[in-house]
Chain A
Amino acid sequence: MAEVRYVLVDCYGKRRDHIEKIKSCVKNMSLGMRIPMVKFEPGDGKQFYLGLAVYLEDPSVTRPTPELERLFSCAGLKRPIEHPPNRNIFFHPNEISKGFLSGNVQWESFNESITFESLQEDLAGVEPQPNPLGETQGIGADAMNKLLWWGSAMGRGSYNLFRQACARINGNSDTPAWHLMRRLNLLGHLEFDNEDGPPHWGIVGTAFILSKAGDAFLIGRRTPGLINSLQQRIDLSTKPMNQSPDRIGARIADLHENMGFLADMGVALLEDTVQDWLDLLPEQAAFFSHFASDPDIQQHNYTFARWTNSGFIQESFDGRTRGLYEITSIGRGGPSRHVCFDGQRWVKGGFYDLKWLSRKVTVAEMQALHYPDGRLVVPMEERWPLLYERALVLCSGSPPSKLKSRDGEFLSYQAIPLKVASSLCEKLELQLKRWGTQ
């Protein structure tokens, strides 16, 4: 940066009058960049020194610049003090702070100050709050494609970053970002972690997954450029999905013939991933035993609203009634949160996981219906815990579709082999009914 020097002037009169006059001239002559401030001796005496701070591009300059001459004239200032031997009018800041303007010195700035901005939401973000009352609504496939492309280019990020991107891509839609993230998570494109550091997400590596429908579908990081590159060698099918990124499919034989190409592109081919899920997912009791407890919830320090078919209903907690609750701290304030009382402890976790658990502990029988064409239909109210639902979605690469009948609303999953449905229902202790055998 340019160096600052001081021009010292011996003044006579009222300090404030001089300072205001100089300030007015500096402003009118637009000299604020070059002449940022003035220092002056405090006091009531009529004679005083003032020092004009001047930024100099060339610190070897010793004489007034034309603009300084104009300022002196405008402000009615006397000739500046010169110091020998070369009649230099510019003083180093150290010289004036030890000499003419030492001790208690006042100053006036000729520039504006910046307004302090309070910290906005940390880029790292806060824990996302799901909206329990609705699934994704009004979000188009084009927006979901763009969200996945953008996420793929980012690789990973904070929840807040994702939320901001959703708002920009989604325009005025009121679909909460958490739902969009959950959709990408369900389809296997995105993983979310709120245990290791601030909550953050990552788009998984690009891979083709062999589906149970007889083809393979693309999962993970993708961009239009990557898809175009794949299409140079592999015949891809693109199927728009309801409120989801497109399902990009390929023939399994094509993939096997182009393994080297896929490896060069950094695209994996994963065969029979669903079997790993069947082998490793535990039974529901063991699954939920790993969910954290919240031992601090007491009847007297929270308000409670219990989930029913009509939504959350305010009611006191009697210490026994099992179910999903929305609780709000009475003393500490803060947002409401969701917990499930399973009869023994308060369980913390994802909203839909807790919703399923609450149903499990309150309803005698839960069931799913399997069709010969591979569809598995589950009542909307009994939507499975996310990880078990993901196992279903990985069979086809397609999200469930919603069905409505006189019996209620249902979710329908495609291409679910009977073996997969049986295994997962057994783990969740659900009754699996087979269409045509009821």
Chain B
Amino acid sequence: MAGYTDWNNAIIDYFTSGVAAGGSIYLSVNDDALEYIGNKHLSLGPDVARLDFIRSVQTECTRIENGRRKVFLKGVASVCEDGRPKGVAFLGVMVLAAHEMQYDPHHHIDGTNYFKRFNELLGLAAGPQSRPVGMSAGDEEPLWEAWNRWLESKGWRSTAQKGEGPHAYVNYPIEQALLRKDDEAHIEDMFRREFTSAGDRAKDESQLGMWLMRRQFSRLHLARGFAGHDPARTSAFIDSAFRVYQSVDWDQPSGTKRRSSSQKIVGGLIRSVTLQGKLAYRLLPRKPPNWKNTPLEVEGPDGIANLNDYKSGMFMPLWVMESPFPEMPLDYPVSGDPAIEQIGFPKRDFWILTQDADDPLGNYATWDKYPSLLGKKFILTVKGNDGSALAREVAKYKEEGLVGYEKAFQDPRGWVEFRGCMVLSRAWDCIVPPPEAEALYDALRPSVFASLVFKGGLKLPDSPTWIEGFPPELCIYGFEKNFHVKVTSHSGEGMDEFTLQEQATKPLVMCGEPGVYLIKAYWATTLVASKILKVIPWGEIEPSSTPTDTTYKLGGLAFQGPVVTREEHHG
């Protein structure tokens, strides 16, 4: 059995694990998450986690008075010694209740139904408006605010928000739940109906995401989730849907209990060019979300290889792929964690490869699951030759001024690389793509009105963190001429406001001191983009943990700083 504090810490670790600073955190507690947390973080046996979790919260956060169980939040309203908020496990139960709410065809956010479920979970007595006794409207808000504050102090983006009207506080857990239990069953049915081929059943996240975003959902919650105006929330919905997708047992009938999630590691690509100009694509595996690091091995074409840490969210690149466009999806068996069976490489018709400011060698790769292309240069690789349907489609986009690119290069191995691509226009509705190009069209079409980009300064790898005294410059890419920018500190103190012309840069000199800053861009009073900037003092930077492998070789000798050795020769 685990105590409340154990669950509190484990939940925080699970939901923040592998999330780069600047990333959004949703406290989407559900049975799958509890099972994983219980097993991996708390060493609990199977089918015990949920009960143990609820019991621990009940013990810490409720009291029995006059034969009735009531909420008691005094003990969890503060923070631990390390600054972590104590109330996260309680908030987790609140979200679990939202996850288990029934689908309402009239789209009502019903506080009554919500609290009925919540009270059942913790065995609480109902008070006015069905709220549990001991928890009046707003009593739980300080816990949400503490959670948000802690996330932002660490450089993550908080997402829990109060709603409006009579159900303002209920909005907090409901919006955190993302896919509810009912929604999961609904989309699983959709997947089973529509995905019949091997290729359909081996999509990667972005392929599934594009497919979901094109669907017209009758359920308003899903329509808003998959096609809303907040890209971070849409990404979180797609991630949740991808977990459902990965856990479907296609060989079993609908309604079968799904397998545990995180079955497959998704394989992407990293592109490298030698000084001699030789181009190669290597397999770049992505770490499963919220996964607890365990040593893993994979069986590939050259034998067994270790899956080693690379940058946040990725494993080290593996072998060179014969082609980025295999005729069938590929699977490579993985061992070391029973929850992970294989690396899956999808069957695709195109790849979008971006550069990552955190990759010091400037490689183009599938760094982002759902790349936001506004303001970025990227390489678009399409299957076929330059007369193929997709290649002609890209040329059409350029003709209409929707994209620009430096050069189209026909690789004799059977694909075309459009290099130096950039999305230029929002007017994508001028084109109706043919069915075979819908996925490409959806992937290129901008989903945001504006994007903030940090340039220059002294940035640390794997997070939007800069070193004191050397903050970045700000540049905004967007579909209007001028934007209004506000810079505030983490505590809400206004630092500066200014107008910034599109694609002009402004040094963020007001962000030179250590701290966390929130940069928001507005157009005509509408918030169009925001970004978190963290600045740390020199005293807090840490040496990189990436292996020291840069070696100078000459005449059979290998030099690495103070060390010289004879080169090893592998026979």
Contact = CB atoms under 8 A, between A and B. Distances in A.
Interface of A: 1-4, 30, 32-33, 36-37, 39, 53, 57-60, 93-94, 97, 107, 109, 111-119, 122-125, 146, 149-150, 152-158, 160-161, 164-165, 168-169, 188-207, 209, 219-226, 228, 270, 273, 276-277, 280-282, 286-287, 289-290, 387, 394
B206 to A, nearest CB: 15
Contacts of B223: 3, 58-60
B362 A123 contact: yes
A152 B543 contact: yes
Nearest to B543: A221
Given A113-B479, A150-B467, 18 more contacts: A32-B479, A59-B216, A115-B503, A119-B377, A123-B355, A124-B363, A152-B543, A153-B544, A154-B360, A156-B360, A157-B361, A164-B456, A169-B470, A191-B559, A193-B552, A203-B544, A224-B538, A228-B539
A149 B425 CA distance: 41
Contacts of B563: 204, 270, 273, 276
Contacts of A30: 523-524
B426 A111 contact: yes
B555 A190 contact: no
A332 to B, nearest CB: 16
21 contacts: A3-B223, A3-B227, A32-B480, A37-B430, A57-B224, A116-B422, A119-B419, A124-B273, A124-B362, A155-B548, A188-B561, A191-B559, A191-B561, A193-B550, A193-B552, A197-B273, A204-B550, A223-B541, A225-B540, A280-B564, A280-B566
A26 B12 CA distance: 46
Contacts of B456: 164, 168
Contacts, number: 253
B275 interface: yes
B458 A169 contact: yes
Nearest to B524: A30
Contact of B559 (A60, A146, A168, A387): A387
A134 B362 CA distance: 30
Contacts of B359: 123
A146 B467 CA distance: 10
B107 to A, nearest CB: 9
A169 B467 CA distance: 11
Q: Which 3 A-B pairs have the closest CB atoms?
A: A123-B362, A202-B550, A155-B544
Secondary structure at the B interface, as helix, strand, loop or mixed, is: loop
B406 interface: yes
Nearest to B403: A116
B560 to A, nearest CB: 5
A222 B538 CA distance: 11
Contacts of A164: 456
A223 B539 CA distance: 7
B360 A203 contact: no
Contacts of B83: none
Contacts of A220: 548, 561
Given A97-B432, A193-B552, A290-B554, A33 B360 contact: no
Contact of A113 (B272, B425, B467): B425
Give the one of B355, B447, B551 with max A CB within 10 A. B551
Interface size for chain B: under 10, 10 to 19, 20 to 34, or 35 or more residues? 35 or more
Nearest to A111: B479
Contacts of B375: 114
B256 interface: no
A39 B426 CA distance: 14
A200 B272 CA distance: 13
B111 interface: no
B562 A225 contact: no
Nearest to A56: B227
Interface in B389-448: 401, 404, 406, 419-420, 422-427, 429-430, 432, 447-448
Given A114-B479, A146-B538, A190-B561, A222 B228 contact: no
A152 B401 CA distance: 43
A1 B213 contact: yes
A205 B360 contact: no
A209 B552 CA distance: 20
A113 B361 contact: no
B543 A206 contact: yes
Contacts of B31: none
A114 to B, nearest CB: 5
Contact of A155 (B231, B360, B420, B478): B360
B481 interface: yes
A42 to B, nearest CB: 13
Contacts of B470: 168-169
Nearest to B107: A60
B186 interface: no
Contact of B551 (A161, A193, A387): A193
B229 interface: yes
B405 to A, nearest CB: 9
A109 B429 CA distance: 10
A287 B555 contact: yes
A120 to B, nearest CB: 8
Contact of A282 (B361, B526, B544, B555): B555
B307 interface: no
A280 B557 contact: yes
Contact of A191 (B216, B228, B272, B560): B560
A150 B458 contact: yes
Nearest to A60: B220
Contacts of B560: 191, 204
Contacts of A149: 538, 541
A5 to B, nearest CB: 10
